[in-house]
Amino acid sequence: MTKFIFLLRTWLAAMRPKTLGASIAPCCIGAAMAWRDSLPTLGRDEQMKFSWTLALAAVLGAMLLQIVSNFANDLFDAQRGADSAFRLGPQRVVAAGLVSSRAMKIAIVFTLLLAALPTAFLAREQGEIFALIGVFGAIAALLYTGGPRPLAYVGLGDLFVFVCFGPLATAGMYAAILGEWRMAPCIIGIAPGALAVALLATNNLRDIDQDRAVGKRTLAVRFGARFTRLQIIACWVIATMLPLAAWLLADAPGGALAGTTIALVSIPSIVMVARGDRGVALNGVLAGFGVHLYLLGIALGLGWAIT
């Protein structure tokens, strides 16, 4: 029993549940927007039907692809020496010897097969575009830290995170439920995408010296700590102000302001970034942004749906 609990904790650590808000938040927001647009409205020629089954399939697929990315990151960073004994962040299971490379490869393949199930269902119900999105997501998850020129090692990780955990995820969730691609979810998706980039940039700021030593040329390594701190603050401001701007300028429901108000939870994180905290201290900033990302999805989603 003790061994089973140890294995369970090890694999849960590899999944990195604290980071899964990156996939859950935009899905919550996209689902809320779909829910509101499915409500009866005077003058609408055709009523769109909200499907909980399609919503569940979409969020499950998104979460599984993020777990694939986390598994691949654990494996490939260990192989490249990026997760050494001097790592400042949480322990990585392959580098620590808790999981073998072979076991992690099997887990990646198994999780990809699981992710294919909701993806295939969405493709059957809402069109082949979701099969393409699933294939793109799987390839991007592997190439983020794998392959001859990993995205994270050439400074493209921030762009990947913004697109996949921002506009694409939010608009994709909306389209998965209602079968329509619209601009509004793309624009609102900028908020969770920007906050996900803030979380990634904080991680890269913490690991800047170690990444530089192993040739991992993140934006933090390329442009320095000062640039990265400004990037983090700018992303936080964008994520915070966008719901307010949508309400003021684009007739978003008043409940969207909850997405701005919830930013209060990460003000201590922004203060730590602005005052120049480094190293292990940034683990607290990461935790703050992780909580903010989860709460952004819940607050903005609920606020949008019920007002």
pLDDT in tens, 276-299: 988 888 999 999 999 999 999 999
Can you give the pLDDT at residue 221?
A: 94
Of 5 and 158, which is predicted with more confidence? 158
Name which of 172, 236, 171 is nearest 200 in CA terms: 236
pLDDT tens digits, 71-94: 999 999 888 876 665 566 677 889
Q: Tell me, rounded to whole angstroms, the distance of Cα 240 from its chain centroid.
A: 17
Q: How much of the chain exceeds pLDDT 90, in percent?
A: 72
Q: What is the pLDDT of residue 203?
A: 93
Task: State the average pLDDT over residues 166-176.
Answer: 96
Residue 221: partners with Cβ closer than 8 Å, 6 or more residues away: 155, 204, 208, 211, 212
Query: What residue segments make up the domains of the chain, in order of their start?
Result: 19-31+49-306
pLDDT reported for residue 92: 83
In this structure, the dihedral spanned by the alpha carbons of residues 28, 29, 34 and 35, taken in order and rounded to 10 degrees, is 70
Residue 42: pLDDT band (50, 70, 90) is: very low
- The pLDDT of residue 30: 97
* pLDDT number for residue 168: 96
Q: How far apart are CA 270 and CA 263, in angstroms?
A: 10
Say what the pLDDT of residue 245 is. 95
Tokens in use for 236?
Answer: 């936080």
Q: Give the pLDDT confidence of 62-71 residue by residue, as tens digits.
A: 999 999 999 9
pLDDT given for residue 88 in this prediction: 66
Distance from CA of residue 8 to its chain's centroid?
23
Instruction: Say what the pLDDT of residue 85 is.
Output: 54
- The pLDDT of residue 78 is 86
Encoded amino acid at 66, one letter: Q
Is pLDDT above 90 for 136? yes
Q: Which of 113-117, 209-213, 223-227 has the lowest mean pLDDT?
A: 209-213
pLDDT value at residue 116: 96
- What is the spatial distance between Cα 118 and Cα 128, in angstroms, rounded to a whole number? 13
Q: What is the C-alpha to C-alpha distance for residues 202 and 196, in angstroms, rounded to an integer? A: 10
Count of CB atoms within 10 A of residue 145's CB?
24
pLDDT score recorded for residue 205:
95
CA distance 76 to 71: 9
Q: What is the pLDDT of residue 2?
A: 79
Give helix 129-143 / helix 167-178 axis angle, nearest 10°. 150
Q: What is the pLDDT of residues 178-199, one digit of tens each?
A: 999 999 999 999 999 999 999 9
Compute the average pLDDT of residues 253-263. Answer: 94
Taking all residues of the chain, what is their mean pLDDT, rounded to a whole number? 91
Contacts of 196 (CB under 8 A, 6+ apart): 22, 25, 161, 162, 165, 166, 293
Summarize pLDDT for 216-249 with one digit per residue, the tens: 899 999 999 999 999 999 999 999 999 999 999 9
Could you tell me the two tokens for 288? 């703050």
SS3 percent helix, strand, coil of the chain, rounded to 5, is 75, 0, 25
- pLDDT greater than 80 at residue 40: no
- Residues 147, 150: Cα–Cα separation, whole Å: 6
Residue 45 has a pLDDT of 53
Q: Answer yes or no: are the C-beta atoms of 177 and 228 closer than 8 Å.
A: no
